[in-house]
Amino acid sequence: MVNSLLADAELRLQQALKYVNLSDDAIESLKYPKASLTVSIPVRMDDGSLKVFQGYRVRYDDSRGPGKGGVRYHPNVTLDEVQSLAFWMTFKCAVLNLPFGGAKGGITVNPKELSRLELERLSRGYIDAIADFIGPDVDSLAPDVYTNSMIMGWMMDQYSIIRRQSMPGVVTGKPISMGGSLGRETATAMGTFFAIEAILPKFDMQPQNTTIAVQGFGNAGATIADLLFKAGYRVVAVSDSKGGIYSDQGLDIPSIRQFKNSSREIKAVYCHDSVCSVAPHDVITNEELLALDVDVLCPAALENQITEANAHQVRAKLIFELANGPINFAADAILEQKGIYVFPDILVNAGGVTVSYFEWVQNRNGMYWTLGEVNQSLQRKMVEETEQIWTIAQQNSVSLRMAAYIHALHRLGEAIDAKGTRSYYNAH
């Protein structure tokens, strides 16, 4: 498949390998996912009918530790997409120096069409189907697109029922009452915020003079827009799947969030109204938002939003990828040619998996952290790795994405080589 997301991701890997002295063993190990599982999930619908959904779980690499990655519910979920996301998770965990390998899961479903009871039956059915494939020391799940803490709670509960013991570490992003971590709901956006705050001074950008557009107004997009607004930045545009709004004077993000939250059928998951209908601002499309003349663009929706078809129209000075894979390989080259700095997903949105790691640690030792401790630890890790990647990019005269891959490859290579390499076995 020409447009395979996994193939796209592997092109970046091949490019990064030129800058890293990696053993042949390590390169060979990273070519393919370690294990891919496809399952059928029969669900009894509210009307009595039986519907079968396709579910997936992929462990890409576990050389640095157990698999870690979210589960997304979306009509477009495919095995290829899940493999790609697991690949990215492998690098994301390595970039943040977490003791995890990369994994991902998903179900091909439009969750907005399901009742709460159907959603619960689907979520528990998914765990029934993949229970032998996961575990706190094997592969730990987390929320992703259209899944939330409630769904994670069902999944953890179902796994514990199957194992006949409490197993909180099999899932992160759970409700606080079930062993979840404070700060997990906002972790992805909070991590992005710390990265933005670390970078913008390098470009002499002050909050009050910096314009920002956010594509996607789900959990991550809405939270980053809110954090930036409260820090004094001028958020001039936001959008959701139905379209967006723009005001060059800046938007009142808290009021937009309030409106959107009040119009949801299920709190914090599904929205039936668009941000477009909030207030009398200029109505714009998602395509127009991506082409706005702003200082910072934050794509926080789905993958492949900026491609060779529209990359020439992008005018932002800096792009911070909150979504996974919002810019494809061909578009990267165009943006680089235009002098646009792209801060990659495997760094920028890694706050979620970092706090998932904190939750996993808390579950294992039974000691739980305050919100201040969580955010402080997150800030330290995000700033540290952002600075390292910035330095690698400057030293090697490469893009920030390339620098992040180089950074991750060093760590992955060390872990794989520690198990023995050709040179070790051929030595006399």
CA-to-CA dists, residue 328 to 26, 214, 291, 427, angstroms:
25, 18, 16, 42
Gap between the Cα atoms of 289 and 297, Å rounded? 9
Residue 214 identity (one-letter amino acid): V
179 Ramachandran zone, left/alpha/beta (phi>0; psi -120 to 50): left
Token reading at 84: 């790609």
Set 68, 92, 104, 381: catalytic member: 104
Quote helix, strand, coil % in the chain, to nearest 5. Answer: 50, 20, 30
Judge residue 73's burial from the number of C-beta atoms within 10 Å of its C-beta, 0-12 exposed, 13-18 middle, 19 or more buried: buried
Gap between the Cα atoms of 214 and 209, Å rounded? 17
**Active site includes 104?**
yes
Token reading at 225: 């827009």
Cβ–Cβ under 8 Å, residues 323 and 303: yes
Q: What amino acid positions are annotated as catalytic residues?
A: 104
